[in-house]
Every structure is written in C-alpha cells, then in structure tokens.
C-alpha cells in the first residue's frame, strides 16, 4: 500500500506506542514511533511530516513543552495531543495552546483514524495551496492575489497577457473582490512599474471636485484655488492611473475624460495650455455598465474606449476552494499587524466559513478574520469567538455551528475532484488542468482514494 502521509508519534511508554502503531498499521500512513521528545524534534528537522501525535505526560519534556517548540518552528503542522482518560483540563489547555485536536487513553481506534485522517487532510490541502501560490508568484509575480481556483487562474492568465502592453483594461466585479489589487498587479508587472501608480476613487470624490482632481487647476480657477495645482494626470507621469468605480462618474465629466483618452492631451481647470497624457489607464467598476448605458447613465463611446481588455473578478461564493488559503493568509497577516501570538482556527469553523455566503467577498472575509484575531480570548479560535450581528455593528457573515458540514474538508475535496473527473468524461489530463494541479498529483490523489475505498 502506497503511503500518503507521514506521522511522528511520541510517547515515553513503549507499550502505548506499540498499540498506536498497531491501530494505524493497515492505513495509508507511515508511522515513526519515538520515545524521546528531543530526538523527535531532530527528526522533524530532518524529514517532512504531516502530523505529530504526542502524549502529554512525559518526564524529560512534557507534551506542552513539545507543542510550544513545534508551533514555533512549524506553525502549520498539526499536532494531536494524547491525554489520560478524564484529564479534560489538559485537553482544553492543549487546544488553547494550538494543538489541532486531542485523544484520550485508552485510545479508540476509530477515533484515532478519523482525527488523523482529518488533520493530515487539512495539512496537505494547506501545502497544496502554498505550492500553488508559489507557482503563481514565480510565474506571474502576483504575490498579493490569492487563489488557485479555475476562475482565478483565468484572471492570472489575463493579467500576465495584458501587463506588458499599453491596452486599456476594464476590471469588473462585485464590491470587495479585489479590483484595485488586480490593477496594481498589472502595473507592477508592466514596464511602468518604476513609475507612480495612482488610484482615483470616482465614487468618493464629489463630482464638482473630480475634474480638478484629475486634470489639476490653475491659480484663481475657482474659489479656493490659491495656487497652481497638478492633478492625477500629471502626477502619474508615465505610470498608471486606475479609475476605481468609473461607473459612478458624472456623465458630463465622462465626455471630458473621453476626449482626454482619445487625444492623449488635457488642460488644467482654468488654463488654456494643453499637456500631454503619458500614463496608462485602467478602470474598475462593480456596476453593470451595459445596463448603465441603456439607462443613459454611462456613455457608450466611453465604454468601448475603456473596455479593450475586460477582466471579470469572480465573487467569493464562486471560488470557495480558495477560502481556506485566504483564511490562513489573513490569519497570519492579522496576527502580525496586531502583534499577537500566532493563532489557529477550529477546523469546524473553517468548514463553516467555506460554506458562508460572504456577500462582501474577500474584503468581508478579511475583516471577519481580523475581528476573530482581535476579539478572541486565547490562541485557539472557535465558535465561541464568532461575532454576532446587531443593528449597530458592521455586517459580517453569520456562521453558526449548526451549519458545519458533517464531513472533513479532505472528504469534500475528494468529492469535488471526483465530480470534476466525471464532468470531464474520465479524462485525467483535462481534469488536472481544471483543478489546477499536476497530472502526477491527480494520479496520486485518485490512487489514495481507491485505497481508502478498499480499506
């Protein structure tokens, strides 16, 4: 049987180790049993493991000391603590200090196998996500946009194609999907990367001031114009201008913008001198511009001028496979920014977040994780830390324990992979492309699934 996971088991009681090994003997996992915790730490530095199983009561170094060292050097590696029967306080402490789960002696074989499978499944999914993210960063240099789902791979492909050009790009998508991130990725992967990137929020700046913000103004052009002031068009020089929420721009100003785009010249407000527009222009909107045109709220000629290359960002509900890695990224980032110790999230809560609606998309998920990091009382975030919504609080996704799937994330992944394989008529090469993994990786997973079914 091919082994698809390495387990490091630590217990000073040799008999307990033998029992544990015998329980896992017929599974697809390779078990390394060690009585000395110090030697176990040396093995972790020498080889790759997917799970640590450790007893709590050990003379030289107890399980809590071991847990602290493991989390310090391998923060994502799951560790399941084994405690004596009835020692609930030890189990609670283990979870609070970052253990993935706990088991009680005498070990129950089914409970051991279930929790082992779940922990390794979560960890290997995290590893897959990390590898995919590194591949994307190496290939496209797009480090700040996270995702490996099929819709996001299409976004990455388009960014890579349009970045070296001067083409106008229209980035569409619901609020919170990351339109400015995509605009920045295009800029910083372009020959203009050493020039300024200037975002202009067309929705936030009053229409009466937007023209001055864009084109600048001459001294005395209007009340309060006490001196000459350059606008975004000049400040961008040969860089990139990103017009965020272009659909909210006043229709009268749209004609002025269109003329500047077409002629590549502009004038400061109150000035007759024409200036050359050197910057590249990118545009973003959450509004359906086709409907806006039908309602005479957006100019048709401007639309066709700015939408040379359209990039549509999918809402989070259409890329749920990206949610676990987004959670991990925001969790690590929030802990760093708020100078808090590393925290972990209860697996059931992660499962629930994968199923949540996230109407505010990635921005809402990021704010939600930050809320959990700041407001949680300990380093293990669980359902008790989930914020409740009242009329005065910011809107966040309502996540309840009752909504948690009754299956491990690894089983959900298995079901999804098999569903894609069926949809592709059993074509493994095409299935691997759709999933965004290597053909070898797909074969590995399918073989593991077949072995699981036999067992």
Q: Which residues touch 404 (CB under 8 Å, ≥6 apart)?
A: 348, 349, 351, 352, 355
**Residue 380 φ/ψ, nearest 5 degrees:** -120, 110
Cβ atoms < 10 Å from Cβ of 91:
20
Two structure tokens written together for 357: 């609606």
In 3-state terms, what secondary structure has residue 427? Answer: coil
Question: pLDDT class for 392, splitting at 50, 70, 90?
Answer: very low
Q: What is the pLDDT of residue 135?
A: 59
Question: pLDDT class for 148, splitting at 50, 70, 90?
Answer: confident
Question: pLDDT class for 142, splitting at 50, 70, 90?
Answer: low
Q: What is the pLDDT of residue 436?
A: 66
Q: Among all chains, which residue has been given the structure tokens 């399941």?
A: 80
Q: At what angle do helices 409-423 and 439-454 cross, to 10 degrees?
A: 110
Contact 169, 309 (CB under 8 A): yes
Q: pLDDT by residue (tens digit) across 74-84?
A: 888 999 999 87
Q: What is the pLDDT of residue 389?
A: 46
Contact 171, 214 (CB under 8 A): no
- Sign of the dihedral through C-alpha 220, 221, 226, 227: negative
Pairwise CA distance, residues 393 & 407, whole Å: 32
Q: 153: burial class by Cβ within 10 Å (0-12, 13-18, 19+)? A: middle
When pLDDT is averaged across residues 390-408 and rounded to a whole number, the result is 46
Q: Residue 275 is inside which H or E element, if any?
A: strand 274-276
More reliable by pLDDT, 109 or 455: 109
* 391 has pLDDT over 60: no
Pairwise CA distance, residues 175 & 248, whole Å: 13
* 369 has pLDDT over 90: yes
More reliable by pLDDT, 281 or 442: 281
Q: What is the DSSP letter of 317?
A: G
Contact 176, 360 (CB under 8 A): yes
β-pair type (30-34, 51-55): unpaired
Q: pLDDT by residue (tens digit) across 233-261?
A: 999 999 999 999 999 999 889 999 999 99
More reliable by pLDDT, 207 or 212: 212
* 448 has pLDDT over 90: no
Q: Which residues touch 303 (CB under 8 Å, ≥6 apart)?
A: 289, 290, 293
- Ordered by where they begin, the domains of the chain are 6-130 (3.40.50.2300), 150-313 (3.40.50.300), 317-403 (1.10.8.60), 409-454 (1.10.10.60)
Q: Residue 455 is inside which H or E element, if any?
A: none
Pairwise CA distance, residues 236 & 281, whole Å: 10
Pairwise CA distance, residues 311 & 175, whole Å: 15
Q: Residue 166 is inside which H or E element, if any?
A: none
Pairwise CA distance, residues 330 & 348, whole Å: 18
Question: pLDDT class for 187, splitting at 50, 70, 90?
Answer: very high
Pairwise CA distance, residues 56 & 82, whole Å: 6
Percent of the chain with pLDDT over 90: 42
For Cα atoms 212, 245, 261, give the angle at the middle one, nearest 5 degrees. 55
| Structural Rg of the chain based on CA atoms | 27
Would the pTM count as exceeding 0.95? no
**pLDDT averaged over every residue in the chain:** 85
When pLDDT is averaged across residues 98-122 and rounded to a whole number, the result is 89
Q: Among all chains, which residue has been given the structure tokens 């759709």?
A: 434
Cα 323–chain centre separation: 6
Pairwise CA distance, residues 40 & 55, whole Å: 12
């Amino acid at each position: 049987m091919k082994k698809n996971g390495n387990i490091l088991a630590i217990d000073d009681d040799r008999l307990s180790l033998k029992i544990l090994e015998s329980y896992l003997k017929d599974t697809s996992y390779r078990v390394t049993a060690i009585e000395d915790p110090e030697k176990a730490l040396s093995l972790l530095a020498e080889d790759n493991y997917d799970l640590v199983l450790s007893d709590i009561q050990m003379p030289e170094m107890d399980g809590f000391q071991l847990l602290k060292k493991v989390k310090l050097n391998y923060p994502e590696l799951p560790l399941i603590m084994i405690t004596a029967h009835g020692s609930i306080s030890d189990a609670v402490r283990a979870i609070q200090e970052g253990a993935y789960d706990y088991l009680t002696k005498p070990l129950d074989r089914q409970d051991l196998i279930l929790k082992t499978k779940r922990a390794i499944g979560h960890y290997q999914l995290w590893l897959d996500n990390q590898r995919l993210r590194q591949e994307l960063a190496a290939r496209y240099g797009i480090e700040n946009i996270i995702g490996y789902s099929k819709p996001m791979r299409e976004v990455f492909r388009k960014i890579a194609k349009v970045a070296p050009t001067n083409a106008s790009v229209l980035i569409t998508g619901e609020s919170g999907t990351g339109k400015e991130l995509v605009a920045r990725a295009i800029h910083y992967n372009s020959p203009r990367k050493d020039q300024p990137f200037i975002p202009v929020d067309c929705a936030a700046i009053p229409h009466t001031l937007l023209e001055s913000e864009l084109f600048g103004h001459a001294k005395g052009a209007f009340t309060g114009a006490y001196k000459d002031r350059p606008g975004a068009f000049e400040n961008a020089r040969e860089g990139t201008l990103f017009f965020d929420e272009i659909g909210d721009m006043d229709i009268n100003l749209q004609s002025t913008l269109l003329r500047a785009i077409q002629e590549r010249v502009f004038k400061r407000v109150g000035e007759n001198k024409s200036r050359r527009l050197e910057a590249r222009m990118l545009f973003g909107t959450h509004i359906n511009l086709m409907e806006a045109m039908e309602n005479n709220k957006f100019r048709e000629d401007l639309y066709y001028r700015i939408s040379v290359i359209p990039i549509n960002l999918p809402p989070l509900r259409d890329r749920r496979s990206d949610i676990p890695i987004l959670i991990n990224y925001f969790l690590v980032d929030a802990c760093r920014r708020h100078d808090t110790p590393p925290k972990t999230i209860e697996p059931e809560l992660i499962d629930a977040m994968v199923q949540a609606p996230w109407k505010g998309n990635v921005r809402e998920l990021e704010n939600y994780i930050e809320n959990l990091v700041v407001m949680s009382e300990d380093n293990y975030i669980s359902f008790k830390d989930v914020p409740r919504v009242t009329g005065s609080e910011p809107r966040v996704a309502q996540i309840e324990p009752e909504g948690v799937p009754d299956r491990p994330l690894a089983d959900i992944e298995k079901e999804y992979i098999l569903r894609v394989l069926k949809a592709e008529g059993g074509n493994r090469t095409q299935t691997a492309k759709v999933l965004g993994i290597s053909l070898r990786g797909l074969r590995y997973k399918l073989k593991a699934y077949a072995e699981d079914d036999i067992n």
